[in-house]
Structure 1
């Protein structure tokens, strides 16, 4: 009789232990899956943000290059115009000196 009671008690404890273990594992795996999904979302958002920053920096460099090129072109035009004015003024000065020498 004692053996029978001991066997029943052991079966109850063993059954209770096995019945609870998968529930804990399932809950833990569900939490782990949720955390993994959240981590994946955060990683994806970070990757997109980094991509946008890189694109913005590239756009900034392109814009700066265009502005520098435009500035160089404007400077060259202004320099050429100034040289023409200087040449015309020197020509006019030489003409005035030649006219003064004739008189």
Structure 2
């Protein structure tokens, strides 16, 4: 006897919409996180530069 092939159930419109929405949200979240990380990195760099300048000024004063 031949085995009957199971039909794949089609995804409903609502489910597809939900999936799309989820993907979009996930992408947006990732983008937001990247932006935050970038800003944090820039802030750190600025702070480092400021500290370096302060150190140089102090050295000049001592001389």
**Same structural fold, with TM-score higher than 0.5 when normalized by the shorter chain:** yes
The count of aligned residue pairs is: 54
The reply to whether residue 99 of structure 1 matches residue 57 of structure 2 is: no
Q: Per residue, is there more helix in 1 or in 2?
A: 1
Gapped runs of 5+ residues in structure 1? 1-47
Which is higher, the Rg of structure 1 or of structure 2? 1
Tell me, in whole angstroms, the C-alpha distance in 1 between the residues paired with 2:20 and 2:61. 61
Please give the residue correspondences for 1:26-41 in structure 2 after superposition, counting only pairs within 5 Å.
Answer: none
Gapped runs of 5+ residues in structure 2? 1-9
| Alignment equivalent of 2:31, drawn from 54, 70, 81 | 70
In the other structure, the counterpart of 2:5 is none
**Structure 1: 4+ residue segments shifted above 3 A:** none
